[in-house]
Amino acid sequence: MLEDKNTEKTSLAELGEFGLISHLTKHFKIYNSTTKKGIDDDCAVISAGGKETLVTTDLLIEGVHFDLSYMPLKHLGYKAVMVNLSDVYAMNAKAEQITVSLAVSNRFPLEALEELYAGIQLACDTYKIDLIGGDTTSSTKGMLISITAIGIADKEDIIYRNGAKATDLIVVSGDLGGAYLGLQVLEREKQVYQVNPKNQPDLDAYTYIIERQLKPEARKDIPELLKELGVKPTSMIDISDGLSSELFHICTQSKVGCKIYEDKLPLDPQVISTCEEFNIDSTMVALSGGEDYELLFTVPISEFDKIKGNPNLSIIGHMTEENQGMNLVTRANQEIALKAQGWNSFS
Amino acid sequence: MLEDKNTEKTSLAELGEFGLISHLTKHFKIYNSTTKKGIDDDCAVISAGGKETLVTTDLLIEGVHFDLSYMPLKHLGYKAVMVNLSDVYAMNAKAEQITVSLAVSNRFPLEALEELYAGIQLACDTYKIDLIGGDTTSSTKGMLISITAIGIADKEDIIYRNGAKATDLIVVSGDLGGAYLGLQVLEREKQVYQVNPKNQPDLDAYTYIIERQLKPEARKDIPELLKELGVKPTSMIDISDGLSSELFHICTQSKVGCKIYEDKLPLDPQVISTCEEFNIDSTMVALSGGEDYELLFTVPISEFDKIKGNPNLSIIGHMTEENQGMNLVTRANQEIALKAQGWNSFS
């Protein structure tokens, strides 16, 4: 039945990931009063009578999300943890626990898994996270990692995606597009290597962007910094799929529009030079390149003085009324509509 | 590197699942005071200041844990939830939330996933569980489901694996071996079908055991029953890998031995008749057949009167001092040593 290529069937690529999840889960009910937040944020929120507990989960699959020909296993383990911690920090919460489930084919010896777990452990030690459970099993092909992260926060501290107001400032941490460009460099070197295995790649000019791809850091420091500055964002999300896509989530859930400025997008010099080398538009990379794991948030305009000039933060625009849509103001002062370009693993 | 067949490498099959998890995680530290229990029970336990939160996770892989040629997708969705809820009930807790992560190849149309989610939803509606998150992505091959279940309990109600005392009675709910035998029948019918697709199987004689395999129920009712009876077990575990393997966990963690009686093992008549037909020893099936999702627990001998005669519960033996080991007393009154025969997906 499953192999039936009947034309009445609907292919998954048509829906994309977000469409698929909302389609499949739209009829589910909430039964328990402990469930404070369900599917549509970086984490779910549960209250068991004390502080709130936050839960997020991510699946990483060889050949879809990572390529072991240039991703060392230790980095993979580290990154798999970061991807999940980033979701907890995006709720303004403290990440405390993870579970790790792993499926591997017999082609992997124990020593390979030790490398992977060395990376997971480095992440746990660096971010003070407890590994509390998991499941390890064989797969028929390749490697798959499923991580669930659990965090904690006072109820009043949690920041959702739906609190942005029409005049709020839009702020991002760090810089954008590096992880995507790092991947382009690694893919190119892989192809060179396949043609001539003796070629020794010189990657010195790309160290920053390759590190952004292979060893990203979740921004644990940003919620701490915001607390120090005395700023509470009205909405927050982590940038995993790309700036446009994340802005789309905040705008949709907060029922507002947004206007961002091309000349305000934070770009590392290595991103700019590599974009020139690859002949790619750096603005496109900043808008649509995923995996930076920076935080995107909105703050009331009254907080401008606390944010401006901070080397970790860039004000890139402001929210607008919903009917004005999502727009980018170019360097030439033209206004163009932004498209949400979330990453679709099914296409 | 990974494909290197160097003889110094250690194959995963040598360690098995339990050995592998403990090998890979032995150097991890606990950093957070909210972590009350880590890796070695049915669930991890977290305290955020109110009631305790319990977390468990399981990975099910096509070709390893299920075969879609006889497992309808709706049943698969239902069973994947049951496997996780069972771990929460085995801690004497109330299951309240799940996250569902799914990886599927493009061979599955949307309608197939709708069937799967119909089963997940039926489980959620029947057991009053909230679906609070997940991740859906493509795989390079087949289907994989990773579920995390979250429960809640008062601290004093949680039952771990390590509390059994040397004179405690050993009790199991329901009956054993049905799910394993149901699988044997389905495997046989699959082979018959492959030889002659026109053959119509008559499965009337196997309805109970096939249902045990395809649509198991987690024993939510047992913690409730124990509360009614005024009995608090000293240790508890769910029977997913087989009675011997679960007894081994309780004995090891509680530092006791055990003695169980062959003639006390609860067997359904359909299990006995199918064992005869397949020429398999029904005691072996009860001891080593997995996936029954019954609960195994120990109670002080003073609770004998409250348990005996209850149609849902069977007293199958008692704990002993640790140095007496794990033993089975046969119908012929011979004592033989029990072996833990956990299921090893790597072998």
pLDDT in tens, A298-335: 999 999 999 999 999 999 999 999 999 999 999 999 99
Amino acid B201: pLDDT: 78
pLDDT at B154 over 90: yes
Amino acid B157: pLDDT: 95
Which residue is closest to B61 within chain A, CA to CA? A139
The alpha carbon of residue A264 is apart from the nearest alpha carbon of chain B, in Å, by 32
A240 marked ligand binding residue: yes
The residue-averaged pLDDT of A221-238 equals 97
Comparison of pLDDT for B79 and A40, the residue scoring more: B79
Amino acid B6: pLDDT: 45
In a domain, A6, yes or no: no
How many domains would you assign to chain A? Answer: 2
In a domain, A26, yes or no: yes
Amino acid B296: pLDDT: 98
pLDDT at A88 over 90: yes
Amino acid B9: pLDDT: 77
Tokens 């299920």 — which residue?
Answer: B66
The residue-averaged pLDDT of A193-218 equals 90
pLDDT at A285 over 90: yes
Q: Point out the domain boundary residue: B101, B129, B157.
A: B157
Residues B269-298: pLDDT tens digits? 999 999 999 999 999 999 999 999 999 999
In a domain, A1, yes or no: no
pLDDT at A4 over 50: no
**What does the alpha-carbon distance between residue A237 and residue A260 come to, in Å, rounded to a whole number?**
16
How far is the CA of B199 from the CAs of A20, B70, B214, in angstroms? 38, 15, 21
**What does the alpha-carbon distance between residue A73 and residue B5 come to, in Å, rounded to a whole number?**
18
pLDDT at B347 over 60: no
The lowest-confidence range among A248-262, A309-323, B98-112 is: B98-112
- On whether both A185 and A126 belong to a single domain, the answer is no
Question: Hey, how many other C-beta atoms are within 10 angstroms of the C-beta on B221?
Answer: 14
Average per-residue pLDDT for chain A: 91
The lowest-confidence range among A281-285, B22-26, B210-214 is: B22-26
Amino acid B81: pLDDT: 97
Optimal mutation site among B56, B130, B152, B154, interface A, most CBs of chain A within 10 A? B130
Strand B257-261 and strand B326-329: pairing? parallel
Report helix, strand or coil for B128. coil
Q: Report H helices in B128-217.
A: 178-195, 207-214
The residue-averaged pLDDT of A236-258 equals 95
The residue-averaged pLDDT of B139-149 equals 91
Out of A58, A97, A117, name the one closest to residue B35 (CB): A97
Residues of chain B with Cβ-Cβ distance to A57 below 8 Å are 99, 101, 133-135, 146, 148
**What does the alpha-carbon distance between residue A226 and residue A220 come to, in Å, rounded to a whole number?**
11
The residue-averaged pLDDT of A166-172 equals 98
Amino acid B106: pLDDT: 83
In a domain, A208, yes or no: yes
Out of B59, B125, B137, name the one closest to residue A17 (CB): B137
Task: Find the CATH number of the domain harbouring B189.
Answer: 3.90.650.10
Amino acid at B201: P
pLDDT at B49 over 80: yes
Comparison of pLDDT for A12 and B293, the residue scoring more: B293
Q: Point out the domain boundary residue: A157, A187, A213.
A: A157
Dihedral (CA of B329, B330, B334, B339) sign: negative
**What does the alpha-carbon distance between residue B21 and residue A134 come to, in Å, rounded to a whole number?**
8
pLDDT at A19 over 80: no
Amino acid A25: pLDDT: 86
Optimal mutation site among B4, B73, B116, B146, interface A, most CBs of chain A within 10 A? B146
The residue-averaged pLDDT of A57-81 equals 93
The residue-averaged pLDDT of A155-162 equals 94
Residues B28-41: pLDDT tens digits? 888 988 998 888 78
Task: Find the CATH number of the domain harbouring B147.
Answer: 3.30.1330.10
Instruction: Quote the distance between the C-alpha of residue B258 and its chain's center.
Output: 20
pLDDT band with cut points at 50, 70 and 90 for residue B10: confident
Cβ contact (<8 Å) for B137 and A64? yes
pLDDT band with cut points at 50, 70 and 90 for residue A18: low
Query: Which has the closest alpha carbon to B48: A36, A28, A224?
Result: A36
Q: What are phi and psi of A200, to 5 degrees?
A: -95, 110
- On whether both A178 and A312 belong to a single domain, the answer is yes
Question: CA angle at residue A137 from A133 to A141, to 5 degrees?
Answer: 135
**What does the alpha-carbon distance between residue B90 and residue B236 come to, in Å, rounded to a whole number?**
6
- On whether both B108 and B183 belong to a single domain, the answer is no
In a domain, A2, yes or no: no
- On whether both A86 and A231 belong to a single domain, the answer is no
Query: Which has the closest alpha carbon to A129: A166, A184, A88, A161?
Result: A88
Amino acid A339: pLDDT: 80
The residue-averaged pLDDT of B56-84 equals 93
- On whether both A254 and A135 belong to a single domain, the answer is no
Residue A170, token pair as written in the block: 């839009």
Optimal mutation site among A43, A57, A69, A157, interface B, most CBs of chain B within 10 A? A57
In a domain, B4, yes or no: no
Which residue is closest to A20 within chain B, CA to CA? B136
Amino acid A3: pLDDT: 44
- On whether both A239 and A90 belong to a single domain, the answer is no
The residue-averaged pLDDT of A222-247 equals 96
How far is the CA of B94 from the CAs of A164, A272, B85, B153, B173, in angstroms? 36, 54, 9, 6, 18
Q: Which contiguous run of DSSP H or E holds residue B97?
A: strand B94-104
Amino acid B3: pLDDT: 45
Question: Which strand ranges, in their side-by-side order, compose the sheet holding A335-337?
Answer: A235-238, A295-299, A169-173, A313-320, A257-261, A326-329, A335-337
Q: What are phi and psi of A201, to 5 degrees?
A: -70, 140
In a domain, B55, yes or no: yes
- On whether both A214 and A194 belong to a single domain, the answer is yes
Amino acid B5: pLDDT: 44
Enclosing domain of residue A150 = 12-157
Report helix, strand or coil for A256. coil
pLDDT at A202 over 90: no
Question: Which strand ranges, in their side-by-side order, compose the sheet holding B235-238?
Answer: B235-238, B295-299, B169-173, B313-320, B257-261, B326-329, B335-337
> Quick one: what percent of chain A has pLDDT higher than 90?
72
Amino acid B285: pLDDT: 95
The one-character DSSP state at B42 is: S
Amino acid A9: pLDDT: 77
Report helix, strand or coil for B189. helix
With a CB cutoff of 8 Å and minimum separation 6, the contacts of B126 are: none
Report helix, strand or coil for A218. coil
**What does the alpha-carbon distance between residue A328 and residue A335 come to, in Å, rounded to a whole number?**
6
- On whether both B147 and B178 belong to a single domain, the answer is no
Burial classification of residue A191, based on how many CB atoms lie within 10 Å of its CB (0-12 exposed, 13-18 middle, 19 or more buried): exposed
Which residue is closest to B101 within chain A, CA to CA? A59
Q: Point out the domain boundary residue: A137, A157, A177.
A: A157
In a domain, A183, yes or no: yes
Average per-residue pLDDT for chain B: 91
